[in-house]
């Protein structure tokens, strides 16, 4: 499967250390040409004129090549394949959860539909914010609709961020209903330490420093 392009989203991450994770993460977007059975696209920001077909779109319209799984769904093996084809690097990912199967794990806010009207229906949302409630760090998300998915990298890994489905178009030029958003961890995942835990760590280090000074 060829034609993959790695695309970089414009993102500004504020702060350093743990403060990095207090900002919304803007995703890096990976797109790929999955073959003639393509139904969905994703955004690049400055791509050549690819839409649902090569005859739709103009340079700079934001549409690029797409990844399609003809069998439907976004299983781990297919997502890992897409990441490897996009980056040239094999990555071991683990499914943390899906918006439809595990809704209690996530919070979705500030969602807008295609008309810019606020909505609480994820399947109709064009954009919004996501938050993993237990602060597990997410490295990739996939947005599944019809028999294809759009793949996004979150770098650095974060427990919160933004999403957009504006690039998911069917052959009629309309957005199909979004089935779910899947959240993936990489390299064992991890969580941001709770403030209380950081405070205890600081007290422990301070105590060790005081003990060391007394021994001098």
Return the DSSP state at 19: G
Q: Alpha-carbon distance 28 to 159, whole Å?
A: 15
Host H or E run for residue 139 = strand 138-145
Q: Alpha-carbon distance 156 to 13, whole Å?
A: 9
User: What's the whole-model pTM score?
Assistant: 0.62
**pLDDT at position 39:** 29
Q: In this structure, is the dihedral angle defined by the CA atoms of residues 73, 1, 46 and 9, taken in order, positive or negative?
A: positive
Contact (CB, 8 A) for 6 and 86? yes
DSSP the chain: ----EEE-------SSGGGGGGSPBPPEEEE----TT-----B-SS--S-SSSTTS--TTSSB----B-TT-S--HHHHHHHHHHHHS----EEEEEETTT-GGGEEEEEEE-TTS-B-S-GGG-SEEEEEETT-BPEEEEEEEETTEEEEEEEEEEESEEEEE-TT---TTSSPPPEEEEEEEEETT--BPPPHHHHHHHHHHHHHHHHHHHHH-
Neighbours of 129 (CB within 10 A): 15
- Per residue of the chain (216 residues), give pLDDT as tens: 333 222 222 221 222 222 223 344 444 444 433 322 222 333 333 333 333 333 333 334 333 334 445 455 788 888 887 777 666 778 899 999 999 999 999 999 999 888 889 999 998 888 888 999 999 999 888 888 766 677 777 877 889 888 877 556 565 666 677 889 999 999 766 676 555 444 444 445 455 455 445 555
């Amino acid at each position: 499967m060829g034609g993959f392009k790695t695309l970089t989203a414009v993102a500004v991450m504020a702060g350093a250390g743990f403060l990095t994770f207090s900002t919304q993460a803007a995703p890096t977007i990976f797109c790929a040409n999955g073959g003639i059975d393509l139904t969905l696209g994703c955004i690049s920001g400055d791509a050549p004129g690819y839409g649902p077909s090569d005859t739709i779109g103009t340079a700079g319209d934001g549409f690029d090549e797409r990844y399609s799984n003809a069998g439907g769904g976004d299983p781990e093996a297919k997502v890992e394949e897409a990441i490897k084809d996009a980056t040239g690097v094999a990555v071991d990912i683990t499914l943390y959860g899906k918006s439809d199967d595990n809704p209690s794990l996530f919070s979705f806010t500030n969602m807008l539909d295609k008309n810019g009207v606020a909505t609480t229906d994820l399947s109709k949302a064009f954009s919004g914010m996501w938050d993993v409630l237990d602060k597990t760090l997410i490295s990739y998300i996939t947005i599944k609709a019809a028999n294809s998915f759009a793949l996004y990298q979150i770098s650095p890994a974060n427990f919160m961020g933004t999403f957009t489905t504006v690039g998911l178009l069917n052959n009629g030029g309309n957005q199909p209903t979004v089935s779910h958003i899947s959240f993936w961890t990489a390299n064992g995942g991890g969580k941001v330490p709770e403030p209380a835990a950081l405070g205890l760590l600081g007290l422990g280090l301070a105590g060790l420093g005081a003990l060391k000074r007394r021994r001098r």
